[in-house]
Structure 1
């Protein structure tokens, strides 16, 4: 995706209008966990862990980027950053370009861990850009879903980031669609985040080009059961999270995560790979089970949970886990427009 030049002469040449300087918009976007076991590339859950981006337009033609939190030491602060490129792409889609930008980003979701950090950044940028154009040209969130899904390649993370709760997403021709379902209030998401990253590209490269018919049939049944478990009967979360399509193929790239999932499931907890991994997501039914899950992860971490895994850079050590007890975010991205 190429950025649109902020040069007003080039904007005029391409028939783009310039957004007004002096506008300020803040977008808060939840982290997300996709797949949820059998819901490969179709199910996503919004989590109460938030990244925040504030965008302010200026007329000086420059870029001022204050980046804090996760990734602050490694991510770029120039036109190549995903948020900047996405703002420009969204504005161009709406017939606009910009001159200068002042950005302030507070990243809380860890990067490269399977918690939808790129989807959160993409959603924040698209929703912010939609507020910068003239009121008559501002699109709704369905438009944001289409563009974000195009950029990400699929809607499973961006849909819950935009709309919140449990998102069931699919593609019809060139269009992306989603249906949002309410999650039972007793469901408590817990994430165990190891101290190594795993790229989505590497995780996808480990998947076979086809799977046996019986595996596909079994997986479709479990995905349907999972939706029922999350929305009606959490006692069925353990069988509902059984996967036959992707997790076993990826286990060699995240052996500590795969081992933790195996141990948690053996104890009766609905543990899965979060997104492409390596974070482990557990869907607990109530606070008592959430306590049990946290205690089980602590035992694992202090009793052999460290190890080595293969990454794109070679062998890497796992020395620790960060465990967060979260909630289901039920609102999705929040947009605040600051008056001049």
Structure 2
């Protein structure tokens, strides 16, 4: 059996925004907001430490036991490699807001599988990048956030012949982003529960055309971003769970700003040029505003 390496090992993982308007469950971007995590093997037991998002001690924080998402993801990766450590310490410094549509769960999953592989001697031989990505997408259930969290940049992802795929594409260097984050979140399962089972063929056709245009706009023709980010499949349908989010999206788009619901919401992601000062001035009272770059790197081991 492979021995474990002397720890600790550290990883940093980016926030992500999925869908980007019409690219439902298929398009995702890595953003320059990163969680940092550390793990090491212990002789026994489990220690989970959390700072930042999810650290609340009033019942709002994340669990500190085997049900913690990073720990569950590490256990799955250890099982993939045929080994479980006798004990674990996991430390999380969370910057990515939880339940806001910025990929916090995908960041936790990707961090967990990468940390686990780094703790096993010869882990790269036992679990390739493709195998880890497949596992992370299986754990999340869809790849649109996991793919940019793992690989970085702009990624088109999906499932074909019972396998996940992820294809990176370049991003025009003129494109930046601003994330408007409301003070309260919306759980992904709630947002998904508002989506209809059937959509009109005309809406599906229009949406697929805009998704294709969005790839072209992000990779080199940002002047088309406003048209390319129009959605027919999920944003308006989710308005009952996040009315202020949709109001902000419409207000920004009326001013010519390519704005979308980030992931399942309720964060609003707006694309801009290098100078985003005018955009940040649009932040509603009580919301947080993050001036972000498109992050070229996904999960990065620091040790």
Q: What TM-score bracket applies, with the shorter chain setting the length?
A: over 0.9
State the alpha-carbon separation in 2 of the partners of residues 52 and 138 from structure 1: 24
Alignment partner for residue 38 of structure 1, among 22, 38, 58?
Answer: 22
Alignment partner for residue 169 of structure 2, among 181, 193, 197?
Answer: 181
Structure 1 residue 103 displacement after superposition: 1.4
Is 1:19–1:97's contact at 8 Å kept on the other side of the alignment? no
Structure 1 residue 20 displacement after superposition: 2.3
Is 1:223–1:241's contact at 8 Å kept on the other side of the alignment? yes
Query: What 5-or-longer segments of structure 2 have no aligned partner?
Result: none
Alignment partner for residue 152 of structure 2, among 164, 175, 188?
Answer: 164
Is 2:6–2:119's contact at 8 Å kept on the other side of the alignment? no
In the alignment, is residue 235 of structure 1 matched against residue 223 of structure 2? yes
State the alpha-carbon separation in 2 of the partners of residues 63 and 274 from structure 1: 34
State the alpha-carbon separation in 2 of the partners of residues 65 and 142 from structure 1: 28
Alignment partner for residue 63 of structure 1, among 28, 46, 51?
Answer: 46
TM-score relative to the length of structure 1:
0.85
Partner residue in 1 for 2:289: 323
Structure 1 residue 91 displacement after superposition: 0.4
Which structure has the larger Rg over C-alpha atoms?
1
In the alignment, is residue 264 of structure 1 matched against residue 252 of structure 2? yes
Alignment partner for residue 291 of structure 1, among 277, 280, 289?
Answer: 277
Structure 1 residue 102 displacement after superposition: 1.4
Task: Kindly tell me the number of residue pairs found equivalent between the two proteins.
Answer: 298
Secondary structure of 2:282's match?
Answer: helix
Find runs of 4+ consecutive structure 1 residues off by over 4 angstroms.
none
Is 1:34–1:45's contact at 8 Å kept on the other side of the alignment? yes
Alignment partner for residue 134 of structure 1, among 104, 121, 134?
Answer: 121
Structure 1 residue 86 displacement after superposition: 1.1
Structure 1 residue 21 displacement after superposition: 6.1
Is 1:45–1:166's contact at 8 Å kept on the other side of the alignment? yes
TM-score relative to the length of structure 2:
0.95
Partner residue in 2 for 1:223: 211
Q: RMSD of the TM alignment (CA)?
A: 1.3
Is 1:18–1:98's contact at 8 Å kept on the other side of the alignment? no
State the alpha-carbon separation in 2 of the partners of residues 141 and 336 from structure 1: 17
